[in-house]
Every structure is written in C-alpha cells, then in structure tokens.
C-alpha cells in the first residue's frame, strides 16, 4: 500500500507542479498582452505623423477618378526625412522643364513602391534607376502612395504627359487591384468610403480567415478564452505553416478572382498604354513581387495574368520574380517587417533591372531627338525636305465633306472643330473651340469619346483628303482642323489646319 500511496502522492505533486507552471505561464502571458497593448497605444505618435503626412501632402481631387491627389508643392518632415512633392507633383527636390533638354526622359509611375515609402528621396527608386542609367536619362518620379491601377492611368493624363517622356515605367504592385487606405480614407467622400467598405465586406464574406486577419482572429480568440495562453498556442500552430498550406488565401488572391476588379486593371492598362502610344512613349510594366514566401510563392498566376493584360495593351513587361528566387532572398530587398516596400538596397537592385530593360530604347530615342529636333518641342518647324514633301502631298478638304461635317455636328452651326489621328487605327472626332485650344495632340479622353466620332464614311473621306501619310508625319500622328462660314448655309467657307509643329493655324485648301 505504501508504494501505491507514494505513486499517488508523486502524481498529485506533478499535477500541482503542472498547474502551478500553467498558472505562471498564463499570468506571464497576460502580463505580456497588457504590455503589448500599452506598446500599441505608444504607436499613437506614429499614427499622428502618418495622418499629418496624409493631410499635409495630399488633398481632395476635383477628379472623381482620382479621389485624392498630391498638393504641389508640399513638404512634411518624417523620421526618414521630408515627404512631399515639388511644384510639378513629383517626389523630387529638383525642378524640370516641360520640354526635355537633350537627354532622354523617363516617367516613373505607380503607388508607394514608385514613390518609395519610408525612405529619403536620395534612396527612392527613381534615383536608383537614374544612377544605373549613368546620366543617360532624367527620371521623373510621379508615384503617388495608395493609387490603384485606374488612378495611375488617370494621373498620367492629368500630370505626367505634359512633360513629354520618352518612356513610361509603371511599377505595378499586386495591391493595385485594391482600394488602399491612407490618403484615400483621409480625403475620400462618403461615396468613396462606401466603396472601400464594400471591398472590405467582400473580403470578409469570402474569407473571414485569411493572411491579413490571422492576428485579429487570434486576438478575438484570446479575448473569449478562459486560458488565454492556450488560445495563443492554437493560433501560433495554425499560422506556423499557413503560408504554404492548402488553406492559404489573402486579399490579392481574392481580388484577382473577382471579375470586376480584374477588369478595372485591364481597362487601366489599356488606357495608359493607349495614351503612351499617342505620346510616342515606350511603355514598360514592372511587376513587383510580394517579398516573402518564395519557397511556396502564391501569386505566380497573378503575375502571369497581369503580364498578359499588359502585353495586350502594348506594354513591354519586366517580371523579376524567377530571377530573384534564384539569386537572392526577399529579406535582402525589403524593409524590415514589410513584404511590399523595397529597402534602399532593394531599390538599387530593382533600379538596375529597370535600367537594363530601357537603356537601349532610351539611347535610340535620345539619338532621334538630336537628329530630329522638331520632335522635341512645340516651336520647331518641319525641316526643308519634309516641308517640300508636304507641299507635294497637297492636303486639302472638299467642300462636300465640310458641309457633311457641319450637318453631322448640328443643324445651323457656323463653326466646326475636329481632331484627326492615325494612332491605333484612324479616327476623327468633333471637339469644342475650348478643347481644341488646349489640345496638344496627345490622347485626351474628353475628346476621343465614341459619341464625338464622325460617321464612318465621312471620317474616311476627310482622312483621305488630308492624306493619312501626312498625318503620320505630324507631331503625335495627329492634326487639328477648324472651319467657319458666314452664317448657316452661307457661301463663304474657310478651313485651317494645325500640323502640331508650333506654327499654329494655317490655311487649308478647299476643293469643289
């Protein structure tokens, strides 16, 4: 009996020890949770800095597409240096003329990856590209934190194209299919915020447990549990191999599985690709990988899908994921604790790859700019050989075509304004005098609308009379036309054309 009682006593002592250890562990974990909450509250100063930045360097946009845009110029001091924009809405401490001066010019577009969040301007991606090009080109940083794909395309039209870039490089982040927080939440209207809330509700409905919610789910389970350390151990075990498990999902995978969001990306790529071609600029899409889990990378299908849409829209594509998986670690490229944003070293690595991709094209464009200075600015006339060739072409309009255009525009009108181009096919559009006055020959979505296009047969006749070959030699492959007559149906009719070389309006011959 004594050995049996001794064993029972030993078991009781062991159980008591285990209970005491569990109690100590639970007490220690509860103390840790309280300290962690206090540490979270200490982040209020960081949040205040971010809020000051979002209100100080961004503003509500008058464009419903953009929602918000940079305040230009603006500066806010952050721990890493100043954040903000110069007078032309670039993240740069230098100013640039509208017209390139000798060197090629590259415009960098995108969200916070292009803007280079959490880094001083000297370590921004634009500076990394510029250094790798060794002075061959100016690199203008038009990145805007938080912009999605459609906002990037709209920002090019609003702020970038007037600087006449030779190449447009869009650093595409996988979250460009999503509405992100920060400036959007600060400056969005109630309708904008409702869109953001609908997106978040969609993610929660489709996958309550996903990569972005693991910590929040663990917190809720801890709150509800009597033994909180046990709840944390369960959450730890669940997340131990989650990135490589069959249960893995995240907001990127959910977003690209949604047809409406994928279509928004496709439309943005087509829009920017079309605008770049109209401006005579090369277009490169750089797909920035998620900087984690390269041993079981989850987003390869998204890379391929975006690359396919980009190529269809006329972009060249640079996707470094396979090269980097073989050569480096994600930790060597990213900011600590951040799986999206590049460190200064990462920007230099990415900058070298981008420079490799654009160097030869920029060199060729710079040479053409030197050989054909008429393409560099609005005040240069065509050379003698081209002028003589144009004289032999004898562009004109027939009176019949002009009268048909007047009739198609509106009955009784005395003024006619047209834009005709041969970019991505041939087209002519009706325009207003005000729109024509500010139109520089580059793509303008307010002019190139389907409801403004001329009837097919009339469009073909006008393009043939002006001569398509001539339009192909015009600046940006586009010409502006205007005609006037003395009163509705009046016999006095005159037309003028602007070739786009800066000479302004010139008479256009009218034939019977």
Query: Domain for residue 46, yes or no?
Result: no
What is the reported pLDDT for 242?
77
Residue-wise pLDDT tens digits, 171-227: 999 999 999 878 999 999 999 999 999 999 999 999 998 887 766 655 665 566 666
**Shared-domain flag, residues 354 and 392:** no
pLDDT surpassing 90 at residue 388: no
Q: What is the CATH number of the domain that holds 185?
A: 3.40.50.1110
**Shared-domain flag, residues 319 and 448:** no
Residue-wise pLDDT tens digits, 467-494: 877 777 676 778 899 999 876 555 688 9
Query: Domain for residue 446, yes or no?
Result: yes
What is the reported pLDDT for 366?
76
Residue 56 is given by DSSP the state H
The secondary structure element, H or E, covering residue 493 is: strand 493-498
What is the reported pLDDT for 250?
92
Cα–Cα distance between 147 and 426 in angstroms, integer?
32
Query: Domain for residue 9, yes or no?
Result: no
What is the reported pLDDT for 40?
43
Cα–Cα distance between 362 and 137 in angstroms, integer?
7
**Shared-domain flag, residues 326 and 389:** no
CB atoms within 10 A of CB 435: 17
**Shared-domain flag, residues 355 and 256:** yes
Query: Domain for residue 35, yes or no?
Result: no
**Shared-domain flag, residues 149 and 265:** yes
**Shared-domain flag, residues 440 and 345:** no
Query: Domain for residue 400, yes or no?
Result: yes
Place of tokens 């041939």: 426
The secondary structure element, H or E, covering residue 43 is: none
Query: Domain for residue 238, yes or no?
Result: no
Structural domain boundaries, residue 432: 384-511
Question: How many domains, in total, are found in the chain?
Answer: 2
pLDDT surpassing 90 at residue 324: yes
Nearest CA-CA partner of 168 in 129, 131, 135, 134: 129
In 61-150, the DSSP E strands lie at 68-70, 74-78, 81-85, 104-110, 137-141
- The residue out of 337, 367, 397 marking a domain boundary is 367
**Shared-domain flag, residues 354 and 407:** no
Query: Domain for residue 181, yes or no?
Result: yes
Cα–Cα distance between 300 and 256 in angstroms, integer?
12
Q: Which of 75-79, 289-293, 385-389, 401-405 shows the lowest mean pLDDT across its residues?
A: 385-389
What is the reported pLDDT for 27?
64
**Shared-domain flag, residues 136 and 170:** yes
What is the reported pLDDT for 354?
97
**Shared-domain flag, residues 437 and 325:** no
- The residue out of 367, 396, 418 marking a domain boundary is 367
How is residue 208 written in tokens? 């309550």
Cα–Cα distance between 380 and 377 in angstroms, integer?
6
What is the reported pLDDT for 229?
62
- The residue out of 318, 334, 367 marking a domain boundary is 367
**Shared-domain flag, residues 497 and 441:** yes
Q: Which of 93-102, 162-171, 281-290, 338-347 shows the lowest mean pLDDT across its residues?
A: 93-102
**Shared-domain flag, residues 201 and 318:** yes
Place of tokens 């038009």: 142
**Shared-domain flag, residues 291 and 407:** no
Place of tokens 């409801």: 451
Confidence of residue 405 (pLDDT cuts 50, 70, 90): very high
Residue-wise pLDDT tens digits, 218-271: 566 556 666 656 555 565 555 557 778 888 999 999 999 999 999 999 999 999
Query: Domain for residue 282, yes or no?
Result: yes
Q: Please give the share of the chain, as a percent, with pLDDT higher than 90.
A: 54
**CA trace torsion 197, 199, 205, 207 (10° rounding):** -120
pTM > 0.85: no
Q: Are 333 and 343 in contact (CB under 8 A)?
A: yes
CA 487 to chain centre: 48
What is the reported pLDDT for 351?
97
């Amino acid at each position: 009996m004594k050995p049996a009682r001794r064993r029972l006593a030993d078991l009781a002592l062991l159980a008591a020890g285990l209970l005491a250890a569990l109690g100590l562990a639970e007490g220690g974990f509860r103390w840790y949770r309280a300290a962690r909450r206090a540490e979270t509250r200490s982040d209020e100063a960081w949040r205040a800095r971010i809020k000051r930045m979002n209100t100080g360097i961004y503003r509500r946009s008058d464009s419903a597409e953009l929602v918000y845009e940079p305040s230009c110029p603006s500066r806010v001091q952050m721990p890493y240096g100043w954040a903000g924009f110069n007078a032309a809405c670039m993240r740069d401490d230098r100013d640039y003329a509208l017209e390139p001066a000798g060197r090629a010019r590259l415009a960098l577009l995108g969200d916070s990856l292009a803007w280079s969040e959490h880094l001083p301007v000297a370590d921004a991606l634009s500076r990394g590209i510029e250094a790798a090009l060794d002075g061959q080109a100016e690199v203008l940083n038009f990145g805007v934190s938080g912009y999605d794909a459609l906002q990037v395309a709209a920002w090019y039209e609003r702020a970038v194209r007037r600087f006449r870039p030779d190449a447009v490089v869009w650093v595409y982040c996988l979250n460009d299919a999503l509405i992100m927080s920060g400036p959007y939440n600060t400056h969005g209207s109630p309708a904008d915020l409702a869109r953001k809330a609908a997106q978040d509700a969609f993610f929660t409905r489709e996958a309550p447990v996903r990569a972005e919610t693991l910590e929040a789910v663990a917190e809720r389970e801890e709150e509800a549990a009597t033994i909180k350390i046990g709840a944390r151990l369960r959450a730890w075990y669940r997340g131990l191999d989650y990135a490589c498990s069959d249960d893995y999902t995240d907001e990127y995978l959910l977003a690209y599985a949604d047809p409406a969001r994928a279509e928004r990306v496709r439309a943005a790529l087509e829009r920017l690709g079309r605008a770049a071609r109209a401006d005579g600029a090369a277009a490169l899409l750089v797909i920035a990988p998620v900087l984690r889990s390269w041993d079981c990378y989850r987003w390869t299908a998204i890379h391929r899908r975006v690359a396919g849409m980009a190529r269809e829209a006329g972009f060249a594509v640079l996707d470094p994921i396979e090269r980097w998986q073989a050569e480096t670690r994600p930790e060597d490229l990213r900011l600590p604790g951040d799986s999206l944003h590049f460190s200064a070293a990462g920007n230099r690595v990415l900058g070298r790859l981008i420079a490799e991709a654009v160097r030869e094209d920029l060199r060729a464009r710079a040479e053409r700019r030197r050989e054909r200075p008429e393409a560099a600015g609005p005040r240069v006339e065509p050379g003698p050989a081209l002028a003589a060739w144009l004289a032999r072409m004898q562009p004109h309009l027939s009176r019949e075509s002009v009268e048909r255009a007047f009739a198609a525009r509106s009955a009784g009108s005395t003024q006619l304004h047209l834009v005709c181009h041969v970019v991505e096919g041939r087209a002519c559009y009706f325009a207003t005098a005000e729109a024509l006055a500010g139109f520089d020959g580059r793509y303008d979505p307010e002019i190139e609308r389907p409801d403004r296009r001329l009837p097919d047969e009339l469009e073909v006749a006008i393009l043939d009379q002006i001569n398509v070959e001539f339009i192909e030699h015009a600046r940006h492959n586009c010409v502006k036309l205007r005609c006037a007559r003395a009163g509705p149906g009046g016999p006095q009719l005159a037309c003028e054309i602007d070739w786009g070389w800066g000479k302004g309006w010139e008479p256009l011959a009218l034939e019977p």
